[in-house]
């Protein structure tokens, strides 16, 4: 269509829209509401997703290598009675050592791989923390604190003290803030550690860290590797975990099976380890899109309806325009332009509404409680959502307007003029 025809159709569309300002506004508000809610929802949901993912990333290694105690082993009956049908009830696991052999060499080899940011070895154990009358269950990780810092940026997670205190203090321990709070212990206090085997040792708190996830901060503390080996009465090579961090954490899922195959120990990637946390993200995404699409469809039906009514009321005008020499495409564009204008300005207002709404959400105080340490809901102000919003809005209204506009283009003027 020629530009001048388009301009004329646009002029007619404009006059018709402005002559019914309330109806036009109501149609726009339908779109505004749909797009606004989409923006607010997706900003909040992806903000939460990003937070949980970040937390998952900071608290767990990209890949963890450890000895996986296998519950399945053949019962002795299988060997004795090879032909028969053997059922063993209440089979107990074998007394296996959870030691990772040659852990140092494994870490060494992993560090040589491309995309590997660091690999650290550690000795993890369940312990009881005793302070005064309080006894708490938790874990202790014997680490090379500098190597661990490279992987998890512990320096910036310290609330009190410094990680170097651990090096100068063989009997030192860096404790999660939540754990310290429960014990009512402070930096400089001495706590007694009891291992599952019954050994005890007194360690001095030289620092407090906070990662932001309750399950970590409320249970974990770090000590020197040799100290933990001593407490557990294990030899110098006793290591339970090799932690690996990558430059690109999305590659963890590919690399884990390779490492597992190479070294013969279980290698678990962060996504698998945090599956419960991440399942929430998927559900949130589904909800966001389902709700937004529903709102948009409702807005689309609103526009479809309003346009149908408008066209019905404008039958005579359409007939007269056609009699005067306006073609079907001219008439169609008059109504398509109306729906696109409603869609565009409705979406634009929706973007503003969505931005204001998500901004207000980001201001509202929110207590993450023991689970995650946040004071406000995280909101993701990604410009991409605003682009998607306006494209969605205009596309929906274009679809909603197409059928009625085509109907208008096909109006037979004689039918109308004959009366």
Partner 1 sequence: MKTEVLRATGITKYFYEPEKFQVLKGIDVQVNKGEFVALVGKSGCGKSTLMYVLSTMDTQYEGELIVAGQKLNDWSQNQLAAFRNQHIGFVFQFHYLLPEFTVLQNIMLPALKLNRWTESEVEERAYTKLKMLGMQDHALKVSAKLSGGQQQRVAIARALINEPDIIMGDEPTGNLDSYNTQLVFDIFKELTDVYHQSIIAVTHDEEFAAKSSRIIEMADGKIIH
Q: How far is the CB of 352 from partner 1 (least distance, A)?
A: 29
Q: Please list the residues that pair with 207 across neighbouring strands.
A: 174
CB of 12 to partner 1, least distance (A): 8
d(CA 65, CA 101): 11
Report the site for partner 1 in 386-415 (rule: CB under 8 A). 413-414
Tell whether residue 309 is a contact of partner 1 (CB under 8 A). Answer: no
User: Residue 204 or residue 407: which is nearer to partner 1 going by CB?
Assistant: 407
Does residue 5 belong to the site contacting partner 1 (CB under 8 A)? yes
Considering only residues 6-35, where is the footprint of partner 1 by CB under 8 A?
8, 11-12, 15-16, 19
With CB under 8 A as the contact rule, the residue among 291, 317, 374, 376 that binds partner 1 is 317
Helix H, strand E, coil C: the string for the chain is CCHHHHHHHHHHHHHHHHHCHHHHHHHHHHHHHHHHHHHHHHHHHHHHHHHHHHHHHHHCCCEEEECCCCCCCCCHHHHHCCCCCCCCCCCCCCCCCCCCCCHHHHHHHHHCCCCEEEEEEEEEEEEEEEECCEEEEEEEEEECHHHHHHHHCHHHHEEECCCCHHHHCCCEEEEEHHHHHHHCCCCCCEEEEECCCCCEEEEEEEEEECCCEHHHHCCEEEEEHHHHHHHCCCCCCCCCEEEEEECCHHHHHHHHHHHHHHHCCEEEEHHHHCHHHHHHHHHHHHHHHHHHHHHHHHHHHHHHHHHHHHHHHCHHHHHHHHHCCCCHHHHHHHHHHHHHHHHHHHHHHHHHHHHHHHHHHHHCECCCCCCECCCECCCCCCHHHHHHHHHHHHHHHHHHHHHHHHHHHCCCHHHHHHC
Shortest Cβ 284–partner 1 spacing (Å)? 47
146 near partner 1 (CB under 8 A): no
Angle between helices 328-363 and 383-409 (to 10 degrees): 150
Pick the stretch among 73-81, 86-94, 175-183, 313-321 that binds partner 1 (CB under 8 A).
313-321
Q: Which residue has the tokens 């931005």?
A: 355
Number of residues in contact with partner 1 under rule CB under 8 A: 28
Least separation, in Å, of the C-beta of 408 and partner 1? 14
Site string for partner 1, 125-144 (x = CB under 8 A): --------------------
Q: How far is CA 332 from the centre of its chain?
A: 45
Compute the least distance from the CB of residue 27 to partner 1, in Å: 17
Q: Which of 133, 325, 369, 383 is the binder for partner 1 (CB under 8 A)?
A: 325
CB nearer partner 1, residue 193 or residue 319 = 319
Q: Of the listed pieces 110-118, 237-245, 315-323, 399-407, which binds partner 1 according to CB under 8 A?
A: 315-323
- Reported as half-sphere exposure (CB side, CA atoms, 13 A), residue 274 has a value of 27
**417 counts as binding partner 1 under rule CB under 8 A:** yes
Taking CB under 8 A as the rule, does residue 329 contact partner 1? yes
| Of 2 and 112, CB closest to partner 1 | 2
State the nearest-atom distance from the C-beta of 331 to partner 1, in Å.
10
Nearer to partner 1, 233 or 327 (CB): 327
Residue 69 or 309: the one with the smaller Cβ distance to partner 1 is 309
Residue 29 CB, shortest distance to partner 1, in Å, is 22
Binds partner 1 by CB under 8 A, chosen from 220, 245, 322, 332: 322
233 Cβ neighbours under 8 A, 6+ residues apart: 197, 199
Q: Is 245 in the site for partner 1 (CB under 8 A)?
A: no
Q: Which of 326, 345, 353, 357 binds partner 1 (CB under 8 A)?
A: 326
* 316 lines the binding site for partner 1 (CB under 8 A): yes
Of 135, 226, 327, 367, the residue at the interface with partner 1 (CB under 8 A) is 327
Binding site for partner 1 (CB under 8 A): 2, 4-5, 8, 11-12, 15-16, 19, 316-317, 319-330, 413-414, 417-419
């Amino acid at each position: 269509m020629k530009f001048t025809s388009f301009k004329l159709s646009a002029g007619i569309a404009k006059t018709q829209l402005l002559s019914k300002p309330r109806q036009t506004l109501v149609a726009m508000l339908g779109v505004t509401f749909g797009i606004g809610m989409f923006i607010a929802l997706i900003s909040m949901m992806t903000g939460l997703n990003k937070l949980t993912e970040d937390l998952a990333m900071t608290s767990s290694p990209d890949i963890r290598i450890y000895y996986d105690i296998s519950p399945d082993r053949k019962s002795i009956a299988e060997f004795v009675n090879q032909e028969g049908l053997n059922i063993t009830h209440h089979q107990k696991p074998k007394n296996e050592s959870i030691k990772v052999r040659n852990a140092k060499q494994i870490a060494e080899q992993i560090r040589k791989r491309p995309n590997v940011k660091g690999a650290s070895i550690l000795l993890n154990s369940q312990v009881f923390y005793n302070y005064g009358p309080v006894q708490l269950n938790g874990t202790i990780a014997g680490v090379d604190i500098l190597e661990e810092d490279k992987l998890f940026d512990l320096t910036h997670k310290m609330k009190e003290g410094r990680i170097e205190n651990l090096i100068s203090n063989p009997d030192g321990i860096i404790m999660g803030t939540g754990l310290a709070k429960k014990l009512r212990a402070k930096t400089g206090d001495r706590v007694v550690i009891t291992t599952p085997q019954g050994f005890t040792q007194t360690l001095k708190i030289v620092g407090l860290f906070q990662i932001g996830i309750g399950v970590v901060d409320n249970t974990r503390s770090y000590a020197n590797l040799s100290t933990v080996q001593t407490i557990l009465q294990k030899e110098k090579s006793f290591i339970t975990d090799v932690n690996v961090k990558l430059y690109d954490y999305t590659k963890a899922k590919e690399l884990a099976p390779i490492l597992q195959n190479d070294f013969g120990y279980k290698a678990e990637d962060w996504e698998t380890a945090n599956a419960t946390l991440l399942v929430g993200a998927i559900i949130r995404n589904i909800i966001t899109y389902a709700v937004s699409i529903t709102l948009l469809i409702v807005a689309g039906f609103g526009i479809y309806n309003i346009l149908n009514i408008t066209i019905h009321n404008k039958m005579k005008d359409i007939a007269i325009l056609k009699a005067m020499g306006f073609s079907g495409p001219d008439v169609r564009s008059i109504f398509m332009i109306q729906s696109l204008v409603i869609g565009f300005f409705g979406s634009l207002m929706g973007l503003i509404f969505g931005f204001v709404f998500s901004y207000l959400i980001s201001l509202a105080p929110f207590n993450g409680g023991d689970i995650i340490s946040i004071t406000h809901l995280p909101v993701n102000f990604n410009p991409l959502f605003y682009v998607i919003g306006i494209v969605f809005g205009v596309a929906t209204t274009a679809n909603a307007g197409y059928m009625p506009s085509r109907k208008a283009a096909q109006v037979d003027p004689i039918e109308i003029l004959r009366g």
